[in-house]
């Protein structure tokens, strides 16, 4: 033992505040019809995700006349790498509380990954019902890792959800989709965290919209914090669907939804009316963006902001950019939060298909590696000039 260790010992009384998950942190504000969580939480210490200030997007948008602060709520840093863990800790704890014997969900992938992890932790069997196609590999891998029974439906998410609604009634399975109010109760804690971090609510909150539970959950959170006197104003809620899967924008269900952002490939959202209520009450909007716009943001976020998102959250950010371009939001001294709902590692195929790979295969020789590096440095100087001119 050196003297450095002795110094460390002297510091051991120092008390760092321990994060113990969202039920521990916000349980007093979580209830459904007057009932509360009253057992030890099933938790993987979800929540407490960073609110990262934008550097590069802020710079790009300044050139379009937007000034203020842009923050990314990076929900990809939850235990299963998506925002679903907030709702899942509450839903699975509730399942335990009422003595459920198994859980079930329909999913485009992230809900199933989260349900699988939290059900494993609670020692509950879990059935995840997912479309046969268009589910990102990482999400399936997670369900496999956590020992879920995976049922692949030869149809889309909407088919899967309607089957799950029926079968859960027949077999008394505890459904952990966002039609379960306990899920929404957990998810609203992200809004609490945004306010606790900033000390106030943002002017605008941008989100991708799929089954439409999350935008409603955030709105509930902001409204509750205002009622509690913790914030003075609530933000305007802006949700974005992908053009090929935009039932709310179009005003009717879409039978064969299509988008590269498979997480939000949904044609008949279960929380449709609730999402509409959230945007109406907050004076916000639900609109849509193209797959091209989503992909452009996907590349930008990874290559410029250093934040690896999956494609779905890029719809929300693309929507924000669109609003700035069309000057549809307040352009001066504006505080904006965009939620990054899931981590890019979920969908490795998307990355390999959409981002130009810069891999060089060389012999183990000094001359070869030198040649590559020299050429790349030369090219990157030219490319920097190109990037300066990059515009959305």
Q: Which residues bind ligand F0G (CB under 6 A)?
A: 82, 107-111, 178, 208-214, 263-264, 310, 312-313, 341-342
| Residue 159 backbone phi and psi in degrees, to 5 | -65, -45
Closest approach of ligand F0G to the CB of residue 72, in Å: 13
Look up tokens 């959800």; give the residue.
161
Helix/strand number for the chain, H first, E second: 16, 10
Specify whether the CB–CB gap between 39 and 93 falls below 8 A. yes
Longest dimension (CA), the chain: 71
Closest approach of ligand F0G to the CB of residue 93, in Å: 19
> Which among 189, 197, 198 has a CA at the least distance from the CA of 225?
189
> Which among 276, 220, 218 has a CA at the least distance from the CA of 247?
276
C-alpha distances in Å from residue 362, one per residue of 285, 352, 368, 374: 52, 21, 6, 14
Closest approach of ligand F0G to the CB of residue 286, in Å: 10
Q: Which is nearer to ligand F0G, 79 or 208 (CB)?
A: 208
Closest approach of ligand F0G to the CB of residue 322, in Å: 18
Q: Which is nearer to ligand F0G, 138 or 210 (CB)?
A: 210
Closest approach of ligand F0G to the CB of residue 283, in Å: 20
Q: Which is nearer to ligand F0G, 30 or 129 (CB)?
A: 129
Q: Say how far apart CA 166 and CA 153 lie, in whole Å.
A: 15
Sign of the Cα torsion 163, 164, 165, 167 reads positive
Q: Which is nearer to ligand F0G, 66 or 322 (CB)?
A: 322
Q: Which is nearer to ligand F0G, 66 or 312 (CB)?
A: 312
Q: Which is nearer to ligand F0G, 103 or 111 (CB)?
A: 111
Closest approach of ligand F0G to the CB of residue 258, in Å: 15
Q: Say how far apart CA 279 and CA 355 lie, in whole Å.
A: 34
Closest approach of ligand F0G to the CB of residue 230, in Å: 24
Q: Which is nearer to ligand F0G, 68 or 177 (CB)?
A: 177
Q: Which is nearer to ligand F0G, 64 or 151 (CB)?
A: 151
DSSP assignment string, 90-150: HHHHHHHHTT-S-EEEE-SSHHHHHHHHHHHHTT--EEEEEESSS--HHHHHHHHHTTPEE
DSSP state for residue 66 in the 8-state scheme: -
Closest approach of ligand F0G to the CB of residue 237, in Å: 12
Sequence-distant (6+) residues with CB within 8 A of 213 are 87, 178, 179, 183, 184, 187, 270, 271, 274, 275
């Amino acid at each position: 033992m050196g003297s450095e260790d002795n110094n460390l010992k002297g510091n051991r009384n120092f008390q760092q505040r321990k994060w113990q998950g969202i039920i521990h942190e916000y349980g007093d504000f979580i209830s459904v019809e007057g009932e509360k969580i009253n057992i030890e939480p099933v938790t993987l210490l979800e929540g407490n995700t960073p609110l990262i200030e934008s550097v590069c997007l802020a710079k790009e948008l300044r050139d379009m006349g937007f000034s203020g602060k842009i923050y990314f709520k990076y929900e990809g840093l939850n235990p299963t790498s998506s925002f679903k863990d907030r709702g899942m800790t509450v839903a699975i704890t509730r399942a335990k509380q009422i003595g459920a014997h198994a859980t079930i969900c329909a999913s485009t992938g992230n809900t199933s990954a989260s349900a699988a992890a939290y059900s494993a932790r609670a020692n509950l069997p879990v059935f995840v019902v997912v479309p046969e196609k268009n589910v990102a590999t990482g999400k399936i891998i997670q369900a496999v890792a956590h020992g879920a029974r995976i049922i692949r439906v030869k149809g889309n998410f909407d088919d899967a959800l309607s089957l799950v609604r029926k079968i859960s009634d027949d077999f008394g399975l505890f459904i952990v989709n966002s039609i379960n109010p306990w899920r929404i109760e957990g998810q609203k804690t992200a809004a609490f965290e945004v306010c606790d971090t900033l000390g106030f609510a943002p002017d605008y909150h941008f989100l991708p919209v799929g089954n439409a539970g999350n935008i409603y959950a955030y709105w509930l959170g902001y409204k509750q914090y205002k009622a509690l006197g913790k914030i003075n104003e609530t933000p305007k809620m802006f949700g974005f669907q992908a053009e090929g899967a935009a039932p709310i924008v179009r005003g009717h269900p879409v039978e064969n939804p299509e988008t590269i952002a498979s997480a939000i490939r949904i044609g008949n959202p279960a929380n449709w009316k609730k999402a509409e209520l959230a945007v109406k009450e907050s004076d916000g909007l639900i609109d849509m963006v193209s797959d091209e716009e989503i992909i452009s943001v996907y590349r930008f976020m990874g290559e410029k902001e250093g934040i690896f998102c999956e494609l779905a959250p890029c719809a929300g950010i693309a929507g924000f950019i669109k609003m700035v371009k069309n000057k549809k939001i307040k352009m001066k001294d504006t505080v904006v939060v965009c939620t990054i709902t899931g981590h890019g590692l979920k969908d490795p195929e998307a990355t390999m298909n959409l981002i130009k790979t810069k891999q060089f295969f060389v012999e183990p020789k000094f001359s070869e590696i030198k040649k590559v590096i020299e050429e790349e440095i030369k090219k990157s100087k030219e490319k920097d000039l190109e990037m300066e001119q990059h515009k959305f």
